[in-house]
Structure formats: C-alpha cells, structure tokens
C-alpha cells in the first residue's frame, strides 16, 4: 500500500514533465508556417504570407469583358498573365550572420533563394500590385501600391511537432505615399489569415481588415496612429471634398464576390479556416505570385517608360534583399528606426504681438506620444520673441523672452485640425533696459491649423527643406489665470506636421 503515493508522485512528475515539454510549442497569434526544415525558399514563404485583396463592389476595372477579375496586372514590361498578378519583395532580412542567412545567393531567380532559419531572426516582406491606371480626380496612368509585413522567425527547441515557426507581427497598408496616412495593424488573436486587405476604389490605397469582414473599423482594423490613418475612402473617386478625418460613409462595405484570393498552400495552418469561410466565393483561379522585378536591369534595358519610372524608382531597395546583422533584439530596434520617420520637428514664424519663432518637438524629445483613448498627439512647443504687451490694470510694459507649452493636436496629417496648449511664459518686467526681472505667467492657447502636403502642388520645391507639410495656425492666447492679464491673436506660418 505504501507504493501508491510513489506511483502517484511518478505519474504527477511525468505529467508535469510532459506539460513542460509541450509548453515549448508556440501558442502565439500570427503564425503562418511551422516545420522541421531549417530552410524555406523565398517563393514558398511568400505564398504562406500572401494576402487576400478585397476590392470595392464598384471598382470599374475589376472585371474584363468575360466577367473575370483582371486586376492587379503584371508590369507592362513583364510577361503577360491570364490571371491577376501580385509581386513580393524581401526588403530586409535580419540575421545573426549576413553571410549565411540567405542561401543559393548565386541564383538569378529570387524564387530559388533560401532563407536559413537557423540564422534568420526577422524579415521585412512587401507585396506590390500594379494597375495600368487609376480613376477619379487627378487620375493618371500607372499605379503601384503595396503592403509591408514585419515577420519574425522563432525556434521552438523542445517542441515535438516542429522546430521553426514563422509569424507575422505587424502589417502596414500604404496609402497615397504619405507615411502618416499608413494603415498599421498589430497582429493579435483576432487577426484572420490569409490577411484581408481592402483596396480603395479607383485610387487603390491599402487598408488592413483584421477580421476579414470587408468593413473598415477604426481602432480595430488599424491599431497605430489611428487619427492619422487614411482608412479606406472609396468616395474619393467622386471628386467630393473629403474631410480631414475618416468617416464611416467614406467606405463601401465589401461583398466576398469582389475578393481576389491568394495561392495559399494547402498545408498552411490557416487553410481550413480560410476555405470554410470563403469556399462559396471561389469563382476562379487565385492570383499569380511573382518576385518583384529587377528595377535596375529593366531601367538599363529601357523597358520602363518615364511615367511608370516615377512610381518604381521610389520603391527601394532595388537590389533586394538587403541583409543586416542582428543580435538579440536588434531587429526590433531596426523596426523602431522606421518609427523615427514619425518624429515631428516643426519650425514656424510666429506673430504674437511681435515677430518671433516657434519650434515643436516630441513630448519625450526622442519619442512621440499618442494621446490615450482619444488618439492624436501630445508634443512640446517652445517659442521666442521680443513682443511687447500691456498688463491689464497696471499699464506696465514688459518683454516676453520665452514660452513653453504642452500642446495637443488630434492628428498630424489632416488638412484641417484643432489644437490646444497650456504652459508658461517668462517675461522681463523690469523697465530698465540694463536690468532684468524675469517673472513667469501661466499661458493657454487654442486654435485651428490648416496644413497641406505640397508634394503635388506648384510649391513642391519646398519639400526639399525636409518636410512635405506646410501650414498656418490661427489661435487665441490667454496669459494668466482668473483673471487673464492679457489676451490676443496668434498666427504661425511654417513647416512640419505640427
């Protein structure tokens, strides 16, 4: 009878041991491939990651005369296809040793290149789609759109089912060439795979659709910079003036009949769920997935016409992939570098009873701070000047030397926006020009801002000064508190999103 506790203890030990072993298998969202193999080809991984493209029901170029989907198309210099074509590009591959993270590097065909999962840590994988033309206002020939995936490679050392797993951690749908407009989504347990990407009617901007319901839901389908995200604005083709922020009436609900499906492999961990949800809408072959063409080679051969070259030359790197060494969390740091492009430095002429300068920078100096719950941004504004004002009740002339405000703006990119700030100003209240007597005063300011992206205007030369955004602020400033000792208008004209 005394042996039973020992047996129970042994049984418990084995169960706990088994559970510990099993716990090494990953249970994380975004996994698109698992396997024992230590290599995977560029083409194969691209097939596992390829997204669905969901067009507007009123996309006039969606079908050909035979009623078959015909967009996106191959590039004009590329070989024709009987089905739509999507291109993939491995923009960056990060690994422990740049000499070994990509194998078969002597191969000309990118499809045959191999990722060495023993060394690869992370990947930037982009998907591009080409349209012969876009429609609506400012319509033009040639349109190249894309999404970007941040992918991580994870090694599961003690998992009996697989050794390596590849997961998508973040997806960015690009919109109209302005990074502030990007639709960015962090992958979580509710993200449907293959990824659903909403394609804007006529203009073809890309927007993430987390649960693949065909409807854009702000703060859900886009999880970063939500007030600046473009969303999906199908009505832009009508030429109607579009307000600064996204509104629900701007997007049309998608029907699955306008979905373009990817060539997802049958052994994908998401294949069954995908088929169960969309089987009834399979109305033709999936699109063809090709490696992004060698831009330099086609350019040197004279195959890229001038109007198309304007769109292709900005899609860097041209010689891909770029390989970068990474140790520990280095890839994450590399991705954080991309966030630096959202750091906002603005410089403006300021009229506040006299001439001055205003300078804005992120709240944490090196990092932007998005306002909780409401979205929008908190940032610092400092300004200098020598204006003179009159203190109520005393007629004492004084000179402003410095001001600092913590300012809130609901976005960084809308053409029309509001702002409010609160802080302090320092004044020299000594009438003797040879002496100083600095005194602080509370200051509050509220107003509106009008900003424009000059990139497609006659003033586009201004972008060479470091920013595409230029604008005007008009506000009302109060000095002091209960009572205000001075109030007046403020005007700022300058460069930068804030």
Q: Which pair of tokens denotes residue 217?
A: 């839901």
pLDDT digits (tens, 9 = 90+) for 232-244: 999 888 777 666 7
SS3 of residue 328 by DSSP: coil
Q: State the distance between the two ends of the chain, measured CA to CA, in whole angstroms.
A: 79
Four-way CATH pick for 343-495: 2.40.160, 3.30.70, 1.20.1070, 2.30.30: 2.40.160
Selection from 218, 209, 253, 210 nearest residue 234 by Cα: 253
Mode of pairing for the β-strands spanning 85-95 and 288-291: parallel
Share of the chain above pLDDT 70, in %: 86
| 458/146: higher pLDDT | 146
Q: What is the pLDDT of residue 366?
A: 78
The CA distance from 260 to 159, in Å, is 35
Q: What is the dihedral of CA 251, 252, 254, 259, to 10 degrees?
A: -70
Q: What is the pLDDT of residue 332?
A: 72
Q: Among 10-19, 166-175, 365-374, 426-435, which is the least confidently predicted range?
A: 10-19
pLDDT reading at 432 higher than 70: no
> Ranked by mean pLDDT, which of 10-24, 158-172, 240-254, 447-461 comes out on top?
158-172
Residue 466's region, left for phi above 0, alpha for psi from -120 to 50, else beta, is: left
Banded pLDDT at 486 (limits 50, 70, 90): confident
pLDDT reading at 476 higher than 90: yes
Q: Look up tokens 């004044």; give the residue.
A: 427
The CA distance from 274 to 191, in Å, is 12
Selection from 220, 217, 212, 216 nearest residue 196 by Cα: 212
Q: Kindly state the helix (H) or strand (E) to which residue 17 belongs, with its residue range.
A: helix 3-22
Strand partners, 40: 115
Q: What is the pLDDT of residue 345?
A: 82
Cis amide linkage into residue 483, ω under 30° from 0:
yes
| 435/302: higher pLDDT | 302
Q: What mean pLDDT comes out for the span 418-434?
A: 79
The CA distance from 343 to 272, in Å, is 42
The CA distance from 324 to 263, in Å, is 29
Banded pLDDT at 399 (limits 50, 70, 90): low
Q: What is the pLDDT of residue 91?
A: 96
The Cα-based distances of 117 to 21, 50, 96 in angstroms read: 22, 19, 10
pLDDT reading at 126 higher than 90: yes
What is the pLDDT of the chain when averaged over all its residues? 86
Locate the domains of the chain by residue range: 21-340, 343-495
Selection from 449, 495, 451, 494 nearest residue 473 by Cα: 449
The CA distance from 167 to 150, in Å, is 9
Q: Kindly state the helix (H) or strand (E) to which residue 339 belongs, with its residue range.
A: helix 330-339
Q: What is the pLDDT of residue 320?
A: 96
Q: What is the pLDDT of residue 429?
A: 64
pLDDT digits (tens, 9 = 90+) for 339-387: 666 667 888 999 987 788 999 998 888 788 888 878 889 999 999 875 4
pLDDT reading at 146 higher than 80: yes
| 17/436: higher pLDDT | 436
| 32/17: higher pLDDT | 32
- Close Cβ partners of 34 (under 8 Å, ≥ 6 residues apart): 26, 161, 162, 164, 165, 166, 269
SS3 of residue 337 by DSSP: helix
Q: What share of the chain is helix, strand, coil (3-state, %, to 5)?
A: 20, 40, 45
Q: What is the pLDDT of residue 107?
A: 85
The CA distance from 96 to 101, in Å, is 7
Q: What is the pLDDT of residue 21?
A: 34
Banded pLDDT at 434 (limits 50, 70, 90): low
**Size of the chain in residues:** 498
pLDDT reading at 5 higher than 50: no
The Cα-based distances of 1 to 4, 5, 6, 12, 197 in angstroms read: 6, 8, 10, 18, 65
Selection from 47, 54, 91, 48 nearest residue 69 by Cα: 54
Q: What is the pLDDT of residue 330?
A: 66
Q: What mean pLDDT comes out for the span 7-16?
A: 40
Assess contact for 129 and 73: CB atoms under 8 A.
no
SS3 of residue 280 by DSSP: helix
């Amino acid at each position: 009878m005394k042996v039973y506790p020992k047996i129970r203890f042994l049984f418990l030990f084995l169960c706990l041991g088994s559970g510990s072993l099993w716990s090494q298998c990953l249970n994380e969202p975004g996994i698109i491939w698992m396997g024992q193999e230590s290599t995977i080809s560029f083409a194969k991984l691209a097939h596992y990651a390829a997204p669905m493209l969901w067009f507007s029901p009123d996309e006039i170029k969606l079908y050909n005369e035979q009623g078959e989907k015909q967009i996106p198309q191959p590039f004009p210099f590329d070989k024709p296809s009987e089905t739509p074509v999507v291109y993939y590009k491995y923009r960056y591959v990060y690994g422990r040793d740049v000499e070994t993270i990509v194998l078969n590097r002597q191969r000309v065909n990118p499809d045959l290149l191999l990722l060495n999962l023993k060394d690869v840590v992370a990947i930037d994988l982009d998907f591009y789609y080409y349209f012969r033309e876009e429609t609506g206002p400012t319509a033009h020939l040639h349109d190249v759109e894309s999404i970007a995936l941040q992918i991580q490679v994870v090694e599961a050392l003690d998992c009996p089912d697989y050794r390596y797993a590849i997961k998508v951690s973040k997806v960015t749908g690009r919109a109209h060439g302005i990074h502030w407009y990007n639709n960015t989504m962090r992958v979580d347990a509710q993200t449907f795979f293959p990824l659903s990407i909403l394609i804007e009617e006529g203009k073809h901007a890309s927007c993430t659709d987390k649960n693949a319901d065909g409807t854009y839901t702000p703060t859900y389908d886009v999880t970063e910079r939500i007030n600046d995200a473009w969303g999906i604005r199908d009505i832009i083709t009508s030429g109607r003036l579009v307000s600064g922020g996204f509104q629900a009436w701007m997007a049309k609900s998608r029907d699955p009949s306008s979905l373009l499906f990817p060539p997802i492999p049958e052994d994908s961990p998401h294949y069954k769920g995908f088929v169960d949800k969309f089987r009834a809408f399979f109305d033709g072959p999936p699109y063809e997935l090709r490696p992004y063409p060698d831009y330099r080679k086609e350019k040197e051969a004279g195959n890229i016409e001038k109007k198309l070259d304007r769109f292709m030359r900005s899609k860097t790197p041209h010689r891909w992939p770029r390989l970068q060494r990474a140790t520990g969390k280095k890839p994450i740091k590399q991705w954080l570098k991309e966030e630096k492009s959202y750091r906002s430095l603005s410089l403006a002429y300021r009229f506040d009873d006299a001439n001055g300068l205003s300078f804005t920078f992120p709240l944490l100096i090196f990092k932007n701070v998005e306002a909780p719950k409401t979205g929008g941004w908190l940032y610092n504004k400092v300004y200098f000047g020598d204006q003179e004002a009159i203190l109520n009740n005393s007629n004492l002339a004084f000179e402003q030397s410095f001001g600092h405000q913590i300012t809130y703006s609901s976005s960084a990119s809308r053409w029309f926006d509001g702002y409010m700030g609160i802080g302090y100003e320092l004044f020299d209240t000594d009438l003797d020009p040879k002496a100083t007597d600095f005194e602080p005063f509370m200051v509050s300011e509220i107003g509106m801002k009008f900003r424009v992206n000059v990139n497609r205007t006659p003033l586009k030369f201004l972008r060479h000064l470091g920013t595409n955004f230029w604008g005007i602020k008009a506000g009302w400033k109060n000095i002091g508190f209960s009572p205000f000792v001075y109030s007046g208008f403020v005007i700022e004209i300058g460069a930068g999103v804030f």
